[in-house]
Amino acid sequence: MTDHPSSAAVSVQVFDEIQHPIDQEWIVSVARAATLVCDAGDQHVSIVIADDATVAELNADHRGLPETTDVLSFAYTHSGAYYGDTPKGDGDPLDTEFILPPSEQAGLGEVIISYPQAARQAEQAGHSVSQELAILLAHGIVHLLGYDHEEDEEAAEMQTLEAKIMGHVQALGLLNSTEDDRHAVDG
């Protein structure tokens, strides 16, 4: 693995249910590459590699979409759109703002990826699970920075930034054609 100058603090949690052990150091390196390209400084980002059921539940609770998805981003500084048929009620405990002590910085937020969905998408796209995880990490971190893809112009801006991230990930040697699955998944 190649070192890079990003000093972003990255924490990684991988659910026990995930069949293949994830190389957490690789996840940290990809996340740091993304924060470097996005000029996010040393803000903390949390990455969770989860199962379909957990991601589907979070998607239903926070976006109003009762289905699994590939990646969810929860920024500490802004919230995403809610797409449910019924509006969320005022005072919903899921909308309560988390207050940090004055000495703490909020950081970027949390990216939650469904590993099973990433594996399905990788198979459909004809590339490795590692590449799909890197794509989803890039996408999730760009969302944490406030980018969205609701409008065509915003989507194009997001795609450009994600392509830069993936180029940097490739340049760092975190993905290559012969060994990319070895980096993200030991097994």
Q: What is the pLDDT of residue 2?
A: 41
In this model, does residue 95 exceed pLDDT 60?
no
The span from the CA of 83 to the CA of 66, in Å, is 10
For residues 126-145, give the mean pLDDT: 95
> Which of 24, 80, 100, 39 has its CA nearest to residue 69?
80
Residues in the chain: 187
Average pLDDT over the chain, rounded to whole? 82
Q: What is the DSSP string of the chain?
A: ----S----EEEEE-TT-SSPB-HHHHHHHHHHHHHHTT-TT--EEEEEE-HHHHHHHHHHHHS--S--SEEEEESS-------SSPPPTT-GGGPPP---TT----SEEEEEEHHHHHHHHHHHTS-HHHHHHHHHHHHHHHHTT---SSHHHHHHHHHHHHHHHHHHHHTTSS-TTTHHHHHB--
Q: What is the pLDDT of residue 184?
A: 52
The span from the CA of 21 to the CA of 18, in Å, is 7
Every domain of the chain and the residues it spans: 10-91+104-184
The residue with greater pLDDT, 139 or 5, is 139
The packing angle between helices 24-37 and 129-144, to 10°, is 40
pTM of the predicted protein model: 0.82
In this model, does residue 75 exceed pLDDT 50?
yes
* pLDDT-above-90 percentage for the chain: 53
- pLDDT band at 94; cut points 50, 70, 90: very low
The span from the CA of 76 to the CA of 70, in Å, is 20
Radius of gyration of the chain from its Cα atoms, rounded to whole angstroms: 16
10-91+104-184: CATH number: 3.40.390.30
Q: What confidence tens digit (pLDDT) does each residue in 18-63 have?
A: 867 789 999 999 999 999 999 888 889 999 999 999 999 999 988 8
